[in-house]
Copies of this chain bind each other. A is one copy, B any other.
Amino acid sequence: MPGEAKPTAVTRNPERTRARVLEAARNAFASHGLAGARVDAIAEASGANKRMIYYYFTDKEGLFLATLEQIYAELSAASGTLDLDAPPAQALARYIDFVWAYYLDHPDTVTILNSENLHGGCHLKRSDKVADLGRPFVDKLGLLLRRGAEAGVFRPDLDPVTIHITVTAMTYFFLGNNTTLSVFFGRNLASAKARRDWRQHIQASVKAIVAA
């Protein structure tokens, strides 16, 4: 008989339930992709009843979208704390280190964004929370590039979006494709040294790209 619920002493906390489901969903989607993740597993890992997932997020795709939005919100929030108030060359180095450290510390972000791209960005396009969320980041970088140009150390024709994609590309691709690259080149790119070297390479490369 359904509905013969035991008298649970659980104090209600919708926010907490939502948050726990989102956290479990994030792990699941990051590990197995959208299709590979199991709603049952997410329910169990979060301790929430499966019905609540549908109650809060409508369906699996709704949950995936919420996960995406959370990932972007965190990225955006983190970038807000980035302080580029320093001499241009130094600020640029700080900016690159920030991007590198962010993706190194948030590998979930890489795999989940890859999943969304696999599906042609169809979830993200439906979101009203993500569009143009990179704007503050780009503005911040744009300001730095202008300062550098005025100081005569950076080229004057630099586009912040292009530079940001460049830095992200070198970071994201190296980290996200680390295993296949290691096999393809017969070289361990996951070692601490390989990572240090690559971070250094991004620094030197971007420096060369923006140099006046």
A residues near B, CB below 8 A?
32-36, 72, 111, 113-118, 120-121, 124-125, 127, 130-135, 138, 161-162, 165-166, 168-170, 172-174, 176-187, 197-198, 201, 204-205, 208-209, 211
Contact = CB atoms under 8 A, between A and B. Distances in A.
B33 A183 contact: no
B121 A176 contact: no
A174 B186 CA distance: 25
A184 B36 contact: no
Given A118-B33, A134-B186, A168 B179 contact: no
Given A35-B33, A35-B35, A36-B33, A117 B180 contact: yes
| Interface residues of A, dominant DSSP | helix
Contacts of A172: 169, 173, 177
8 contacts: A33-B36, A33-B118, A114-B118, A134-B184, A134-B186, A138-B185, A169-B172, A208-B209
B111 A178 contact: no
A136 to B, nearest CB: 11
Given A121-B182, A205-B209, 10 more contacts: A32-B118, A33-B33, A35-B35, A124-B179, A133-B184, A134-B185, A134-B186, A169-B172, A169-B173, A170-B170
Contact of A113 (B138, B165, B177): B177
Q: Which 9 interchain pairs have the tightest Cβ spacing?
A: A121-B179, A35-B36, A132-B186, A169-B173, A35-B35, A134-B184, A208-B208, A114-B114, A134-B185
